[in-house]
Amino acid sequence: MISQLAHNTHKIIPIAIAVFLVYVLLSFIIRDTGNTVWPHKLLRFSQSGIRDGDFDHISNTTLGFEHIYAIGLKERTDKRDFLTVSASVTGFEVDWVDGVRPQELQQKALPNGYNLSTIEPNAVGCWRAHMNVLNSVIANSYSTALVLEDDADWDVNIKTQLREFARGLHSLKGTKKVSKQAPYGTDWDLLWIGGCSSKADKNETQFYAIPEDPTVPSLERRDADASFGPLDSWKEVFPEDSTRFIYRAQEACCTYGYAVTARGAKKILTALAIDHIEAPVDNAMSELCGGTGGRERIECFVPFPNLIGTYRPAGPAFKDSDIVSGDQTVHEEQAYNLIYSTRRNIHRLVSGAETVLSQWGEESPWSPGEVNPKELVYPRGYHFH
């Protein structure tokens, strides 16, 4: 009898172990996919196996880049004050680079195609300021650098967002091992993190999607050209309204915030300062991303919607831009393409409040009207290929 019981026990133990392992595996699957059952075969999706600890440097005072620049006219102390405080309450630091006035330029110093008599002089000054930053990146041998314009704004959860953006970037590039000192890697040219909009090549075959992202504004709240953004076929896979997509860019516009590697800075400076340029700096950089206009294509990656937007304080529009002037209209406070805007929450953040407010209230089911950034659970994305 005892012998029979021992024999049965030997059979039961392996079965129990197998059942337990299946339970653990299913728990991981259920945890990762949440309550949503996506309508396409999961064999086409994968989640990155990169360890969370590999992105710890993104929590430092340079957001995981080697340096952060901010461009602004020296006399716009109002913009410098606001951006400096906004960066501080979000936990990073900026190095200011002076904007360039048109009167500081000489025609003979401009690349072929730029003529101060035919192109908006302030746009030329903007171009030169960005070229000065790229020059500094190269001169200082920075491996990576983030560049912000003085009216840039971002979500209070920017560090959490950038961690998942970095994961998506590595997934798209097929990275097997991430350097903790360079959490975004250095094998790309341009990360167009902040802009008006972007577009993928119609033949692009892969993307990274973060569904039910609580920091994504609904379609009706986005300030973007409807013809831009992810491919229509991608929108059939994940809901466009609440999903942030990451992909290689064919086009983009506006330079609220972007990052370059050392090699990217060299390529862009060569193309836009040594060679010819006939367009505003963002359009010219877009040509490089798409390899159009006779340009050699560089590697550009974007999040859509963008992670860095632009801020307009309530009041007269002529105070907003130092490129376009003369607009006498008056507008309300605006933080483009952001939900938990740092600048709109600046008083709460400076006073040490635990929660921040959405600029759209309880409008979107995936975005609470009030959140504690320390408790916000940011979703894990999926690589579609």
Tens of pLDDT along the chain (385 residues) come to 444 444 444 555 555 445 444 443 433 443 343 444 444 444 455 555 688 899 999 999 999 999 999 999 999 999 999 999 999 999 999 999 999 998 999 888 998 888 777 788 889 999 999 999 999 999 999 999 999 999 999 999 999 999 999 999 999 999 989 999 999 999 999 999 999 989 999 999 999 999 999 999 999 998 866 568 999 999 999 999 999 999 999 999 999 999 999 999 999 999 999 998 888 999 999 999 999 988 999 999 999 999 999 999 877 666 666 655 556 687 788 999 999 999 999 999 999 999 999 999 998 999 999 999 999 999 999 999 8
Rounded CA-CA distance 293/97 in Å is 30
Q: Is residue 286 part of a domain?
A: yes
Return the exposure string of 65-98: e unless at least 16 CB atoms fall within 10 Å of the residue's CB, then b: bbbbbbbbbeebeebbebbeebbebbebebeebe
User: Please, which residues bridge with residue 207 across strands?
Assistant: 384
CA distances (Å), origin 183, targets 57, 297, 305, 378: 7, 24, 21, 18
Q: Which two tokens stand for residue 201?
A: 């090549």
Q: Is residue 52 part of a domain?
A: no
Q: Which two tokens stand for residue 185?
A: 């890697």
Q: Is residue 55 part of a domain?
A: no
Q: Which two tokens stand for residue 8?
A: 């049965």
- Structural domain span for residue 101: 60-384
Provide the domain count of the chain. 1
Q: How much is the pLDDT for 45?
A: 57
Find out whether the peptide bond into 368 is cis, omega within 30 degrees of 0. Answer: no
Cα separation of the two ends of the chain:
58
Q: Is residue 348 part of a domain?
A: yes
Q: How much is the pLDDT for 89?
A: 98
Measured from the Cβ of residue 298, the count of other Cβ atoms closer than 10 Å reads 21
Q: How much is the pLDDT for 328?
A: 66
Rounded CA-CA distance 38/351 in Å is 42
Q: Is residue 8 part of a domain?
A: no
Rounded CA-CA distance 18/128 in Å is 65
**Those residues with Cβ within 8 angstroms of residue 307's Cβ, 6 or more apart along the chain or in another chain:** 154, 155, 158, 161, 162, 165, 193, 194, 257
Return the exposure string of 251-274: e unless at least 16 CB atoms fall within 10 Å of the residue's CB, then b: bbbbbbbbbbbbbbbebbbebbbe
Q: How much is the pLDDT for 333?
A: 87
Q: Is residue 16 part of a domain?
A: no
- What letter represents residue 171's amino acid? S
CA distances (Å), origin 134, targets 65, 127, 146: 14, 11, 10
Q: Is residue 138 part of a domain?
A: yes
Supply the pTM of this predicted model: 0.86
Tabulate helix, strand, coil % of the chain (nearest 5).
Answer: 35, 20, 45
Q: How much is the pLDDT for 22?
A: 41
CA distances (Å), origin 309, targets 47, 255, 276, 290, 333: 28, 9, 29, 22, 13
Q: How much is the pLDDT for 120?
A: 86
- What letter represents residue 99's amino acid? G
Q: Is residue 206 part of a domain?
A: yes
Q: How much is the pLDDT for 48?
A: 58
